[in-house]
């Protein structure tokens, strides 16, 4: 078995990479919403924080009743307990990554976790 996995994602509205890449510490999804579309439900999480990375377009995230504007190259972290709902702007589609990880689980940062060979 190889020590890596690779995939290519094009032309889909939502792809969850957990099973495709065999992820064991995070959930990552690639998402696209046409102009005016939105996630059809408000949600929170039991233990996972979410990081939204806006790749293209613009939209907004309703977080606990506050409307947060999002534009290409924005990063937004949302705490597990926050109620959230993402929508594309009325005049723009939005393409984004969503990364879910267990809040408080990061024990080592990049340089401290590296093992030089």
Query: Which of the four pLDDT bands, split at 50, 70 and 90, describes residue 1?
Result: low
* Residue 70: inside a domain: yes
Q: Are 17 and 29 in contact (CB under 8 A)?
A: yes
* Residue 95: inside a domain: yes
Given the structure tokens 């937004």, which residue do they identify? Answer: 76
Residue 37: the pLDDT is 97
* Residue 2: inside a domain: no
Residue 102: the pLDDT is 94
* 3-class state of residue 67 by DSSP: strand
pLDDT tens digits, residue range 47-72? 999 999 999 999 999 999 999 999 99
How far is C-alpha 32 from the chain's CA centre?
Answer: 11
* Residue 74: inside a domain: yes
pLDDT tens digits, residue range 9-35? 887 789 999 999 999 999 999 999 999
pLDDT tens digits, residue range 72-85? 999 999 999 999 99
For residue 39, what are the domain limits?
27-104
Residue 61: the pLDDT is 98
| Beta strands 48-63 and 84-88, pairing class | antiparallel
* Residue 114: inside a domain: no
* Residue 113: inside a domain: no
**Domains contained in the chain, number:** 1
Q: Is 113 exposed, middle or buried (0-12, 13-18, 19+ CB in 10 A)?
A: exposed
Query: Which of the four pLDDT bands, split at 50, 70 and 90, describes residue 39?
Result: very high
Residue 70: the pLDDT is 98
* 3-class state of residue 113 by DSSP: helix
CATH value at residue 50? 2.60.120.10
């Amino acid at each position: 078995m190889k020590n890596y996995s690779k995939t290519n994602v094009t032309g889909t509205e939502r792809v969850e990479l957990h099973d495709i890449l065999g992820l064991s510490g995070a959930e990552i999804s690639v998402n696209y919403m046409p102009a005016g579309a939105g996630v059809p439900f408000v949600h929170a999480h039991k233990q996972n924080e979410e990081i939204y990375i806006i790749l293209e377009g613009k939209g907004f995230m309703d977080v606990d009743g506050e409307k947060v504007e999002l534009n290409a190259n924005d990063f937004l972290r949302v705490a597990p307990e926050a109620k959230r709902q993402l929508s594309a702007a009325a005049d723009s589609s939005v393409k984004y990554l969503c990364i879910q990880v267990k809040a408080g689980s990061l024990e080592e940062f990049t340089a401290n976790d590296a093992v030089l060979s």
